[in-house]
Amino acid sequence: MLKQIRMNHWLALVAVTAMLILAACGGANQTAVEPTAAATAAPVETTAVVEPTAVPAPTEEPPTAEPEPPSVPPPSDELLHLRSGEWQWVAYAGPVETYEIETPGNYRVTFNDDATFSAVADCNNLAGNYVASDGGEITITPGPMTLAACPEGSRSDQFVAFLGSATRYYSEGDNLILELMADGGTMTFAPAGTVESTMPATTGADLAAILGNLTYTGILPDQAITLTDGTGTYDDGSSGTPIVTLAANLIPTGDLDSDGALDAVAVLRDESTGSGTFYFLSAVLDVLNNPTPTEALMIGDRIQVKSLMAEGASVLGEIIAAAESDPACCGTWLFNKVYALQDGRLAETSSEQVSQISTTNIAGNWNLVDLNAGQEPVLPEAPITLELFGDRVSGSAGCNTYTGTYTSLEEQFNGLTIGDLATTMKLCEQPVMDQEALYLSRLAASTSWGFDYGRLSLTYRLEDETLGTLLFVPQEQ
């Protein structure tokens, strides 16, 4: 019995212990239950809830106005005039020569608003860019250009070169003036279509055909001389036959009597039966419509004509002639002379004795036109050039380039010696190579220089004593 009581007591103790353990575990893992009514009635400590302070909505600021672009002043009247339309070249005035453009419509330019320009340069078209300021400064940059070969006498290359050297522009009435750099003169433009060609386009061959078949007075005191194809003869009572010839390659043109018609100047050479060779000038008025030669003026005996050009109503000449100290045969002085119409004929209005001649008078760039005094013209596909500066000679011989030296002769004012010439070694077609060999051999054999109606002549003497003359014309600037 006691044993049974003890057993019951032990079981009760185990049960209580188990309940205590379960109670402890239930505190850690209890599941939320609905509070009983008694629990609800019990006082509960609460935490005051603070309502959030109302944050005012951001005030909408007015949009910030975008800054206005800086005001750009409108183009000046001068710049607007420059861009006002197409211009045609009507005149050039420079430090040495002044002339009107015979065919203004052949030389036109338009300056566009986008700083580009387009132009017509006689038989070629040209485009490019320019920068012009309201203050009158301008820079013109020529760009692509067609490469057609314009007729003889064209001012195409000159027109393009002048445009590229312009530095200032301004208005003169309705006209536009471009000033050229380094005192290079001015170009005058008129609105396109407002100026007709004042002088018909002509070529040297056209003029030579006209002047070479006229009758001239003043060469002889008692008779006129009629030329046929550039040559005429007369009777001076001797057994010989004096000959008068026209310089067909040098025919200045202009408006010498200011009547709006084209005039020309005939250069005539009288090879008499005596010791002299006399040179004359005759103005041929209205040469294209009613060619009328004026009485010829003698300008010298055994002279050389370096250049001759018409400028306005004057004719300007660079003449190598004898000074007082020179024998009549052998002039050694360069003169600048001016001629103009007086009493119906040309007269010398001024003469300046410039300097004694030397190789400085032939310095420059030249193109060969003939290998022997008009008898051996240069192949058109192989042009030959000559550059003379200081004591250096160089150029293109048609295929290869060459270089060397030259010296003047102290005992002869127009004498010279060409040193050894070095060339490149390119091969070309045989006719070109043959012409090149002839030219280089003759250039190396040159012994003297002179001027033949504006052309440079180099006289050569070959080893077999053959004499000949290389003829050059100035390269266009």
Full DSSP string of 382-423: S--EEEEETTEEEEE-SSSEEEEEEEEETTEEEEEEE---EE
Distance CA 282, CA 339 (A): 11
In angstroms, how far is CA 253 from the centroid of its own chain?
Answer: 24
Of 98, 219, 92, whose CA–CA distance to 158 is shortest? Answer: 92
Q: Is pLDDT at 201 greater than 70 in this prediction? A: no
Q: Indicate whether 209 pLDDT > 50.
A: yes
Mean pLDDT estimate for the chain: 83
pLDDT grade for 424, boundaries at 50, 70 and 90: very high
- At 467, which amino acid appears? L
Residue ending a domain, choose from 341, 357, 373: 357
Query: Are 344 and 364 part of one and the same domain?
Result: no
User: Which range of residues forms the domain containing residue 340?
Assistant: 204-357
Where residue 59 falls among pLDDT bands split at 50, 70, 90?
Answer: low
Asked whether the whole model's pTM tops 0.75, one would answer no
321 Cβ contact partners less than 8 Å away, ≥ 6 residues apart: 300, 303, 304, 331, 333, 335
Of the pLDDT bands very low, low, confident and very high (cuts 50, 70, 90), residue 7 is very low
Would 20 be classed as within a structural domain? no
Q: What is the rounded CA–CA span in Å between residue 477 and residue 475?
A: 6
Give the separation between CA 458 and CA 441, rounded to whole angstroms.
Answer: 13
Pairwise CA distance, residues 164 & 402, whole Å: 30
The answer to whether residue 154 sits within a structural domain is yes
Is 235's pLDDT higher than 70?
yes
pLDDT by residue (tens digit) across 144-169?
887 766 766 788 889 999 999 999 99
Res 274: pLDDT: 75
> What share of the chain in percent tops pLDDT 90?
54
Q: How many CB atoms lie within 10 A of CB 6?
A: 10
pLDDT of 296 reads 96
Query: Is 14's pLDDT higher than 50?
Result: no
If pLDDT is split at 50, 70 and 90, which confidence band does 227 have?
very high
Q: Does 130 reside within a domain?
A: yes
- Looking at the structure of the chain, the number of domains it has is 3
Q: What is the pLDDT of residues 346-391, one digit of tens each?
A: 999 999 999 988 888 899 999 999 999 888 999 988 999 999 998 8
Q: Please identify, among 161, 191, 221, the residue that sits at the C-terminal boundary of a domain.
A: 191
pLDDT (0 to 100) of residue 425: 93
∠ CA 117-118-120, nearest 5°, is 145
Residue 10 counted as domain residue? no
Q: Please tell me whether residues 213 and 344 are part of one structural domain.
A: yes
Same domain assignment for residues 272 and 152: no
Question: Considering the domain boundaries, does residue 95 fall inside one?
Answer: yes
Instruction: Look at 28-37, 88-97, 413-422 and tell me which has the smallest mean pLDDT.
Output: 28-37
Residues 172 and 216 in one domain: no
Helix (H) / strand (E) containing 439 = helix 430-444
pLDDT(447) > 70: yes
Q: Which residue has the higher pLDDT, 472 or 20?
A: 472
